Amino acid sequence: MQDLKKSHALVLTTGLGTNTFALSRLLAFCSDPHRGSPFHAWKIFQNIQQPTICIWNTVLKAFLLNDELIQTINIYKEMLHSSNIAPDNYTLPYVLKACSRLQSACLGVSVHGHGLKSGLAFDLFVGNSLIVMYSEFRNMEAARQVFDEMPSLSTVSWMVMISGYGKVGEVDKERLFFDLAPVRDRGIWGAMISGYVQNACFKEGLYLFRLMQCAEIEPDEAIFVSVLCGCAHLGALDVGVWIHRYLDRLGLPLSVRLGTGLVDMYAKCGNLDLARMVFEKMPQKDTVCWNAMISAMAMHGDGDTAFELFEEMEEAGVRPDDITFIAILTACSYSGRAYEGMRMLDRMCRVYQIEPKSEHYGCIVDLLSRAGLFEEASKMIQRLATSSNRSEEEMAWRAFLSACCKHGQSQLAEFAPENLSQSEHESGFYVLLSNLYASAGKGCDAGKVRNLMKNRGIEKVPGCSSVQIDVTVHEFIAGEKIHPQMKEIHLVLEKINKHLYYPECKPY
């Protein structure tokens, strides 16, 4: 900015103070979110006698890119009151983005109305921006209406509709749009694969990735990240290794996003050595990447390495966030480090000024409970009741109840039902409580809990497991018989049962 001010002085002293092009270049630099200053741009703008629409748009962009959203809207209002200027198809997308980030649906609809009056709403660029905005508001009905009214469509139009349905979880409609798309470029394939992965349809995402390869479409970084996420959740290590080799063959650099995806995939598939190898090779690491590696060690109970990584992260000058401390508290919990966990909680609040969330409280209660400090955990929850909202308190009670179930502390756990039963609508609480009563020999109370679930219409979320045979991942959901080889599987299970109950029977 110091150099820009010198350049601005030169512009003024050489008589270019009213030159639109020179001023637009100064404003363009000010719009840079890392080096510029939107407020300096506003000072320059106020001294321009008759700003063109290009100048107005540059100022709007400056405030938008610097997250000065209210000011972006105010500048747009001032533009509308100006008698000699009218918004164009670059103006409205900036304003619509501001409405999305402000989460103001009413304001977005109002801007849409301005676009309709001026005829700009039917512009391709503006129409795509409207679809994105309504998708952010989870109003796919309005997004579809904009899509249907657009006189011409581009691949971007189809892509943003597909992405929108993926965001709201309407995977069937998303796939319908994908199948109807007249041209499927890399963006459309990527949007559909991402939609599957975001909505836990991991198998379908990997299958679509194979179809994309058959269509000879080369994946980009975003698609690889989505597919690696699918591999991580399915435990499909072989596919993940193949993708890693494919990345090497394409010569793609190990960016922060790709590296983090590989680390997360190897960690969740149980191969910590490969996860650590990728992590060490990464030229740059951001907070998310460090979090993935620390979480990997925490997940596998390696508290020592998790702490070492945390110290390395601080030495590297990367600032931990709330997710980092959830990972390190989890590591403390799994490795029985109650004292270290409390010290880390204090460090989080005192040194990094991070306000604890319900997840942190849940980790601390779990940490104390695992260490056998049930009374301390109970007292912490009771103190929490006066300093947090209801959802945070419920999260802590659930963690406490879960730990009591594992350690058979039925008497201490009696406090939890009183605090959860009034507002709990998920099956997890009832299943924990039923298991607790059953393990304590209170079959009658366990039956009452199951009846309460039926009366309230609460169903237990079915368990899901997967097994990898060769390069194929087979998925099984409790209570469902959708696997194509289910009959053969049951035949084998019947044979195993016969051998278990009648060991004298000879094998077939």
Q: To the nearest whole percent, how much of the chain has pLDDT over 70?
A: 84
pLDDT score for 427 = 60
Cβ(265)–Cβ(296) below 8 Å: no
* C-alpha to C-alpha distance for 69 and 472, rounded to whole angstroms: 48
Cβ(174)–Cβ(162) below 8 Å: yes
CB atoms within 10 A of CB 48: 17
pTM above 0.95, yes or no: no
pLDDT mean over 170-187: 95
- Select from 237, 249, 234 the least CA-distant residue to 471: 237
pLDDT mean over 338-345: 87
Cβ(407)–Cβ(373) below 8 Å: no
* C-alpha to C-alpha distance for 450 and 447, rounded to whole angstroms: 5
Whole-number Cα distances in Å, 482 to 146, 244, 294, 458, 489: 38, 31, 37, 23, 12
Amino acid at site 288: V
- Asked which of 194-208, 334-348, 373-387, 485-499 is least confident by mean pLDDT, the reply is 373-387
| Residues sharing a CB contact under 8 Å with residue 113, sequence separation 6 or more, in sequence order | none
pLDDT score for 106 = 94
Cβ(89)–Cβ(123) below 8 Å: yes
pLDDT mean over 96-124: 93
Cβ(71)–Cβ(104) below 8 Å: no
pLDDT at position 416 over 70 = no
CB atoms within 10 A of CB 318: 16
Top pLDDT among 333 and 388 is at 333
Per residue in 273-284, pLDDT (tens digit) is 999 999 999 999
3-state secondary structure of 469: strand
pLDDT mean over 241-247: 94
pLDDT tier at 423 (50, 70, 90 boundaries)? very low
| Residues sharing a CB contact under 8 Å with residue 241, sequence separation 6 or more, in sequence order | none
Please report how the helices 322-334 and 287-299 are oriented relative to each other, as an axis angle in degrees rounded to 10: 10
* C-alpha to C-alpha distance for 317 and 314, rounded to whole angstroms: 5
pLDDT mean over 359-368: 80
Per residue in 451-465, pLDDT (tens digit) is 777 776 666 666 677
What are the residues facing 466 on neighbouring strands? Answer: 475
pLDDT at position 418 over 60 = no
pLDDT at position 154 over 70 = yes
pLDDT at position 185 over 60 = yes
* C-alpha to C-alpha distance for 178 and 161, rounded to whole angstroms: 9
* C-alpha to C-alpha distance for 328 and 319, rounded to whole angstroms: 14
pLDDT mean over 1-13: 87
* C-alpha to C-alpha distance for 404 and 401, rounded to whole angstroms: 5
